[in-house]
Every structure is written in C-alpha cells, then in structure tokens.
Amino acid sequence: MKKCIKTLFLSIILVVMGGWFHSAHASDSLSKSPENWMSKLDESKHLTEINIPGSHDSGSFTLTDPVKSVWAKTQDKYYLTQMKSGVRFFDIRGRASADNMISVHHGMVYLHHELGKF
C-alpha cells in the first residue's frame, strides 16, 4: 500500500512539474514572418481591439543557476530574438541601482543585467 501511495504521489509531482517547463513562443502560432505581424493589422482597429503578444519576466533569459531557474526563468531568448518572434510587450521588472542603472529582477532574484542609465 505504501509503495502504491508513493508511486501515485511521485506521478502527480511529475505531471505538475511538467507544466512548468512548457515552452511557448510567439512564432509557434504566428505566420512565417512573425517579426512583421503588425504591418498586417487593419489600421482602423483600436488598440483595445487587438491582442499584442508579450513575454512574462522578459529579462529572465540570463538565469543560469539551476535552482533559481526552476522557479524564476520564464524566457530563454534575448530581447531582440523575442521581438523577431513577434513579441511587442515586455514585462521588465527593474530596480534603480546606486549608479543610476536599472537592474533587472524577477522578484528577489537579480537577473545579471542592466537596461542602462536613467
């Protein structure tokens, strides 16, 4: 009985964790040239009438620590590559540093790059 419960528990854990590692890219569902998708929009549409592809915690592609990556890495592509994939909205969480730079974070995790002076 204990072995059955352990097997069931481990199976549930693996199924749940499998969802964390799913990769979704804008280019998966867009045309062959996702970088130009906006040029095909109907100009009469209001901003509220279109869906703009974005990326969550856009700067987390720099994470290499395996422990932090499990819960903090949501992107694996650099900003420009994300744009070429059709992304037009970036979720960048910055903090002002002592030298007037914007350091990029995911919650408490520093992502090891800055956006520049402000």
Q: What is the rounded CA–CA span in Å between residue 63 and residue 76?
A: 9
Burial-class residue 83 by CB neighbours within 10 Å (0-12, 13-18, 19+): middle
Task: Please say if 25 is a catalytic residue.
Answer: no
Of the listed 22, 25, 46, 106, which one is catalytic?
106
Q: What is the rounded CA–CA span in Å between residue 46 and residue 54?
A: 18
Of the listed 22, 25, 46, 56, which one is catalytic?
56
Residues with active-site annotation: 56, 106
